[in-house]
Amino acid sequence: MKTNEKIIKGIKIDPNIFTFKYSCQCNGECCNYGVYADLKEHEFILSIKDRIIPMMDETQSTNIEDWFEEPCEDDDFESGYAVGTEVINGKCAFLDKNGLCVLQKLADLDGVHKWEYKPIYCVLFPLVVFENELTIDTEHIDRLSHCNKHNPNCETTIFEYCTEEIIHLMGEDGFEELKQYRDEVLAGSLNKND
Ligand code: SF4
Ligand code: SF4
Give yes or no for residue 52 CB within 6 A of ligand 2.
Answer: no
pLDDT score for 193: 58
> What tens-digit pLDDT sequence spans the chain (194 residues)?
454 689 999 999 999 999 999 987 777 889 999 999 999 999 999 999 999 999 999 999 999 999 999 999 998 899 999 999 999 999 999 999 999 999 999 999 999 999 999 999 999 999 999 999 999 999 999 988 888 887 777 889 999 999 999 999 999 999 999 999 999 999 987 666 55
d(CA 120, CA 113): 13
Nearest CA to ligand 2 atom 5: 31
d(CA 38, CA 43): 9
Select from 93, 167, 80, 158 the least CA-distant residue to 125. Answer: 158
CB-facing half-sphere around the CA of 111: CA atoms within 13 A: 0
Atom of ligand 1 nearest to the CA of 23: 7
Ligand 1: residue of 27, 98, 125, 164 to mutate (most ligand atoms within 8 A of CB) is: 125
- Predicted TM-score (pTM) of the model is 0.89
Atom of ligand 1 nearest to the CA of 144: 3
